[in-house]
Amino acid sequence: MNNLRGIYTIWYRDLLRVWRDKIRMASFLAFPLLFLVVFGYGLSGSMGMLAPGIDFSKFMFPGIIGMTVLMTSFMSGVSVVWDREFGFLKEVLVAPVSRVAVAAGKTLGGATIALIQGILILLFAPLFGLTLSPGILPKLLPVMFLVACALSAMGIFLASRIKSMEAHQAVMQLLMFPMIFLSGVFFPVNNVPAWMGILVRINPATYGIDSIRQLVLGAQSTTSLGITIFGHTMSIGDDLIVVAAFGLVMVILAMWSFGTQE
């Protein structure tokens, strides 16, 4: 019971911190919307149709949803570094709750914040010619939350090994932007050079973006735009298996890392 209460308390504290930081919330929304407007509208005419009924702005929209989830969940680890610098993390680690619960609370907090940000981006779908039926949301939201949990666990694990805010910002930027650009947010990944194709396929964010895109645009419409491995086009189920496996590894590593904290 103490562990469940500890998970809830840490989860609630992270949500409350973000809710009170309105500038942070606005920046996480403004950044992806800027990409949508500048690249989506700006390049849509020159890029033409990427698939029947799918222009560049429609192609980008689910990718931007995934990018928002990725960035928000990945950066959730900043709270760990912040708490360490101000001494709060030490108080949490000596509290009568399991350190596994601490890692779980941090991961769920980051994933929940990322899900909320992704939902807010979804509200702009009509501006880009997309109509999301109510039946899609019960499928899309769990997928977004799974992706958020996997990447949040990765961010928490990395943050637990970093000692300063400066180092955290440098490492996050070094990892986050390549993951975004190599995940298929801005271009189809099925016609890239061989060396880039390898990087795309070992990037866990690729499978999260692909599953979100298939749900938003329709699996049939995105067959020619999806990712293929050894000639097999990845379905939504295939993508989710990869994301879930990656997330499980990251959760275990995050729990192990918190368990070895001094």
Residue 197 is predicted with a pLDDT of 83
> pLDDT confidence of 245, banded at 50, 70, 90?
very high
Residues 208 and 243: their CA atoms lie apart, in Å, by: 7
CB 95 within 8 A of CB 6: yes
Residue 147 is predicted with a pLDDT of 92
Q: What is the dihedral of CA 9, 82, 146, 61, to 10 degrees?
A: 130
User: In Å, what is the CA distance from 234 to each residue of 54, 68, 240?
Assistant: 19, 22, 10
> pLDDT confidence of 31, banded at 50, 70, 90?
confident
pLDDT in tens, 6-23: 788 878 887 887 777 667
**Spatial CB neighbours of 51, under 8 Å, sequence gap ≥ 6:** 59, 221, 222, 224, 225
pLDDT in tens, 191-228: 778 888 889 899 999 999 988 988 888 765 556 677 77
> pLDDT confidence of 44, banded at 50, 70, 90?
low
Residue 224 is predicted with a pLDDT of 63
Q: What is the dihedral of CA 244, 249, 251, 257, to 10 degrees?
A: -170
138 vs 46, more confident:
138
Is a pLDDT exceeding 70 seen at residue 49? no
> pLDDT confidence of 51, banded at 50, 70, 90?
low
**pLDDT, mean of residues 38-62:** 67
